[in-house]
Amino acid sequence: MASTPLLSPSTTTVAPNRTSSSLTHQLFHLTSMVPFHTFPAKNHRLITKLNVSSPANKPVTSPTSKKPIEEIIFFDGGAHYGDLAANLLLGFTLLWLPLTLAAIPRAFYLRYRFTNLRVTVISGLTGQDRSDFSYKVIKDVQVVPRFIGEWGDVVITLNDGTKVDLRSVPKFREIAEYCLSMAENPAVLKEDSTGPRGF
C-alpha cells in the first residue's frame, strides 16, 4: 500500500500529474495544519461604561427646581447721625466722655442690614465681624426710643433666649414692625412705656 508523502509547510513541489482541484485541496489541508499563535493583549485596562440619560449638549433641568429667592434690602445703614452729634456735644464734660467714646466707633464701624430673608449686623474696622439670623428665629421685638424719639434701640429676642441689641437705629419703629411682620409667629410690638430715654 503506497502512502502519500506528507508535505511540510516548507515544501512547495507538486507532482505534475495532479489536477488543480487536488492541489487546492492539499493547500487548504496544509494551511489548516499551520498553527496560528494568538498573543494576549498587553494592556489590561478596565472598561467603564457611562450611562448618560440626556445628550451632552443639553443641560438637565428638573421641573421641580426652584429659582433662588432674590434678596431685597429693606434698610441698610449705620447708627443715626444724631447719636454721634449729641454724644460729641456732651463729650466735653468728663462725666459723658465714656459714652462719647462708645458712640464714635458705633457711628463709623457699625452697619445694620434688614432684607426680606435675614437681619445682618456688620461691625469691625474692615467689617470682618458679621452676624446673620433669619426672621424665623425671632420670638419678640422691643424698641426703646432715644433723645426725643428720633432714633432708638431695637432689642430682638430669639427663640433660644438670646437678645440682640441694635443701638441707635434710625427709623427704629418701622424696622421693628418689619421684623415682626416677617417673623413666623408675629407678636405685638413692645415699646418702652416710660417714653424716650437719654442718648
Give the model confidence (pLDDT) of 43-67 as tens digits. Answer: 555 555 545 454 555 555 555 556 7
Of residues 32 and 91, the one with the higher pLDDT is 91
Of residues 3 and 75, the one with the higher pLDDT is 75
Mean pLDDT for 87-109 is 87
- Report the distance separating Cα 176 and Cα 41, nearest Å: 77
Percentage of the chain lying above the pLDDT 90 cut: 37
- Report the distance separating Cα 145 and Cα 83, nearest Å: 12
14 Cβ contact list (under 8 Å, min separation 6): 23, 26
Mean pLDDT for 6-18 is 49
Q: In this predicted structure, what is the pLDDT of residue 187?
A: 66
Query: And the C-alpha cell for 179?
Result: 421684623
Q: In this predicted structure, what is the pLDDT of residue 63?
A: 53
pLDDT > 70? residue 18:
no
Mean pLDDT for 143-152 is 89
Q: Terminal CA-to-CA distance of the chain, rounded, Å?
A: 135
Q: In this predicted structure, what is the pLDDT of residue 23?
A: 52
The structure's pTM equals: 0.59
Task: Give residue 11's pLDDT band: very low, low, confident or very high (50, 70, 90).
Answer: very low
Residue from 103, 19, 116 nearest 72 by CA:
116
**Residue 141 and residue 187 in contact, taking contact as beta carbons nearer than 8 Å:** yes
pLDDT > 50? residue 110:
yes
What is the β-pairing status of strands 138-146 and 190-191? parallel
- Report the distance separating Cα 5 and Cα 18, nearest Å: 14
List C-alpha distances in Å: 136 to 56, 170, 182. 41, 23, 8
**Residue 78 and residue 151 in contact, taking contact as beta carbons nearer than 8 Å:** no
pLDDT > 60? residue 196:
no
**Residue 123 and residue 168 in contact, taking contact as beta carbons nearer than 8 Å:** no
- Cβ–Cβ contacts within 10 Å for residue 50, how many? 4
Q: In this predicted structure, what is the pLDDT of residue 122?
A: 93
What is the enclosing helix (H) or strand (E) of 42? none
pLDDT > 80? residue 112:
yes
pLDDT > 70? residue 169:
yes
